[in-house]
Amino acid sequence: ETEIPEDHPRYASLLTRHRIEAGVEKGITSKQGLIAQGRGEAFDYLLGERTLPSADAAERAAAATLLRANHPVLSVNGNVAALAPGETVELAEAVGADIEVNLFNHTDERVRRIADHLREHGADDVKGLAADGDIPGLDHARGTVDADGIEAADVVVVPLEDGDRAEALDAMGKTEIVIDLNPGSRSPRTADIPIIDNLIRAVPNVTAHARDLADASSAARRDAIDSFAADAALADAEATIREGAFATPDDEIPGEETPG
Ligand code: ATP
Ligand code: MG
């Protein structure tokens, strides 16, 4: 899908960038989304562009929580749709969740485009166009959701969510799973389960854990949830950034060249 050589030391990062650009060109990702992507990349670099063991534990707890939910919903915005559409559809299938397009800057046009894009990647039912529900405490443009989707959900996965909206969802009593690379951002700090990892790695790993846990004992699922501590996971990511960021051996320092 790109001309980036696979042996380029920053292949994954460049591929991600390319997908976001393509998302903007297709009209599914907003320009704000480009800025969010830049912030995410900076944190990913500082975290070593890998899934920390504490993030893996969060991903396992998220999988168990989704399997246990009565009405789980995966919220999809323009960045999620551009970066991991097929992976999101697979996760929804693995845990029996609904998919709802939910945008910070809602326009019917963009919701429709994202829904089409998700269907091209295998989704059969995509919510978000009814827009007949709301998140109390937010103005109309930012608080519009589907009444039988996010409004009715008991567990919501909100990747790359804005802090205000994460807080408003929390105030509605939802169990919130946030995927965000910045451990200091309000959104993961509000979450019941903060996943400090790149969406691109996190979503497939939650799916892998869900498939594993679906066949495991209910005790194993309970343990995945009970053994996870949100505060400790946030602290671990922050400590990794503070202590380890530039400790990479010389020969492993990612290349500085970028094309174009
Ligand atoms: P607030 O404190 O209100 O949340 P913010 O600066 O975090 O403010 P957001 O709109 O939440 O504002 O910013 C987008 C967030 O998405 C950033 O924290 C960024 O690190 C994160 N992000 C961007 N790309 C990715 C990605 N691919 N995977 C995970 N997180 C990402
Ligand atoms: Mg945030």
Per-residue model confidence as pLDDT tens digits over 160-188: 988 999 999 999 999 999 999 999 999 99
State the architecture of 53-240 in CATH terms: 3-Layer(aba) Sandwich (3.40)
- pTM for this entry: 0.92
For residue 83, the ligand closest to its alpha carbon is 1
* Least trusted range by pLDDT, from 12-26, 167-181, 188-202, 246-260: 246-260
Element (H, E) at 248: none
Residues with CB under 6 A from ligand 1: 36-37, 39-40, 43, 83, 160, 162-163, 179-182, 185-187, 198-200
Residue 66 vs residues 130, 199, 203, 204: alpha-carbon distances, Å: 24, 17, 12, 14
Mean pLDDT within 126-150: 93
- The residue extents of the domains of the chain are 53-240
Q: Distance from the CA of 152 to the center of ligand 2, in angstroms?
A: 23
Q: In angstroms, what is the span from residue 165 Cα to ligand 2's centroid?
A: 9
- Report the distance separating Cα 99 and Cα 89, nearest Å: 8
Residue 180 is labelled as binding a ligand: yes
What pLDDT band is residue 12 in, cutting at 50, 70 and 90? confident
> Quick one: tokens of 258?
């970028």
Question: Could you report the per-residue pLDDT of 47-66, keeping only the tens digit for each?
Answer: 999 999 999 999 999 999 99
Pocket residue to mutate for ligand 1, from 45, 182, 196, most atoms within 8 A of Cβ? 182
pLDDT at 247: 56
Residue 260 has pLDDT above 70, yes or no: no
